[in-house]
Homo-oligomer: A and B are copies of this chain.
């Protein structure tokens, strides 16, 4: 395997850019090949079967472009499809759920952890299982927040209505006196301000992106896959719809400035 190849990162849409950003910042030499499935977003309400089928298509597409590793930067896809991808692909694959679970388990003092995520991720019970696997004494309280993704996508990140929804979603978790809250969907770190206000200072927010990028770096080092060449990193982006809208959104998040030719369309027929 050529260690100068890019890292493949995919998500149902723009949310995974929060993970790509963290990779670019922690591993600045590495190139990223990003795929956002903007034509079929959101994944959060789709069945396991459908999420696996879509993830498989995308992972194969990334492999056809020669990547040295794949990061599943979508919690729903990580919850439903990671095992399948690990089995089927020859490149190493990591998801965001395990790193998020591990961080939460390390941070909590009271052992009471909240997880907010999509319907699919919550139903999968994967955060609960991972966290219980780390220590059976930890208590996990899950809450699906299906409206957060459309609110982010509609640019309502700091809107009073978003805050009202956050209050409603977080109420049962706050009643359980959690001290740690996992942002278990890659869109949610974009709502950190509102979620932080509602959760209050006694709750620590966990963004799995940071830990995911850290684990990615360790894995690459262990396998001798850290980039050797001194060429600057070059990032490329594919989306299944709306290149221009994606580019504008990406430029509000990423540390680099994307130009038109950086974002291309790939449609699965």
Q: B-contacting residues of A (Cβ < 8 Å)?
A: 39-40, 45-47, 49-50, 53, 146-147, 150-151, 153-154, 156, 161, 164-165, 168, 240-242, 267, 269
Please name all residues of chain B whose beta carbon is closer than 8 Å to the beta carbon of A40 when the two chains form the complex: 39-40
Question: A161-B164, A165-B161 are contacts. A242–B46 as well, Cβ < 8 Å?
Answer: yes
A154 in contact with B146 (CB, 8 Å): yes
A47 in contact with B165 (CB, 8 Å): no
Partner of A153, one of B45, B46, B50, B267: B45
Please name all residues of chain B whose beta carbon is closer than 8 Å to the beta carbon of A154 when the two chains form the complex: 146-147
Q: Is the interface of A mostly helix, strand, loop or mixed?
A: loop
Q: Roughly how many angstroms separate A150 CA and B240 CA in the complex, as a whole number?
A: 21
Please name all residues of chain B whose beta carbon is closer than 8 Å to the beta carbon of A240 when the two chains form the complex: 50
Q: Roughly how many angstroms separate A146 CA and B150 CA in the complex, as a whole number?
A: 8
Please name all residues of chain B whose beta carbon is closer than 8 Å to the beta carbon of A49 when the two chains form the complex: 241
Partner of A47, one of B45, B50, B241: B241
Query: Could you jot down 8 A-B contacts, CB within 8 Å?
Result: A40-B40, A45-B242, A46-B241, A50-B267, A147-B150, A147-B151, A161-B165, A161-B168
Please name all residues of chain B whose beta carbon is closer than 8 Å to the beta carbon of A168 when the two chains form the complex: 161
- Name the CB-closest residue of B to A245: B45
Q: Roughly how many angstroms separate A87 CA and B113 CA in the complex, as a whole number?
A: 57
Contacts A47-B241, A53-B269, A146-B150 known; 19 new A-B pairs at CB < 8 A? A39-B40, A39-B46, A39-B50, A45-B153, A45-B242, A46-B241, A49-B241, A50-B240, A50-B241, A53-B267, A146-B153, A147-B147, A147-B150, A147-B151, A147-B154, A147-B156, A150-B150, A161-B164, A161-B168
Please name all residues of chain B whose beta carbon is closer than 8 Å to the beta carbon of A156 when the two chains form the complex: 147
Q: Roughly how many angstroms separate A162 CA and B267 CA in the complex, as a whole number?
A: 34
How far is the CB of A117 from the nearest CB of chain B, in Å?
Answer: 15
Q: Roughly how many angstroms separate A269 CA and B50 CA in the complex, as a whole number?
A: 10
- Name the CB-closest residue of B to A168: B161
Please name all residues of chain B whose beta carbon is closer than 8 Å to the beta carbon of A39 when the two chains form the complex: 40, 46, 50
Please name all residues of chain B whose beta carbon is closer than 8 Å to the beta carbon of A153 when the two chains form the complex: 45, 146
Q: Roughly how many angstroms separate A156 CA and B169 CA in the complex, as a whole number?
A: 13
Complex A-B, nearest 8 residue pairs according to Cβ-Cβ distance, in ascending order: A150-B150, A50-B241, A39-B50, A47-B241, A40-B40, A146-B154, A46-B241, A47-B242
How far is the CB of A120 from the nearest CB of chain B, in Å?
Answer: 11
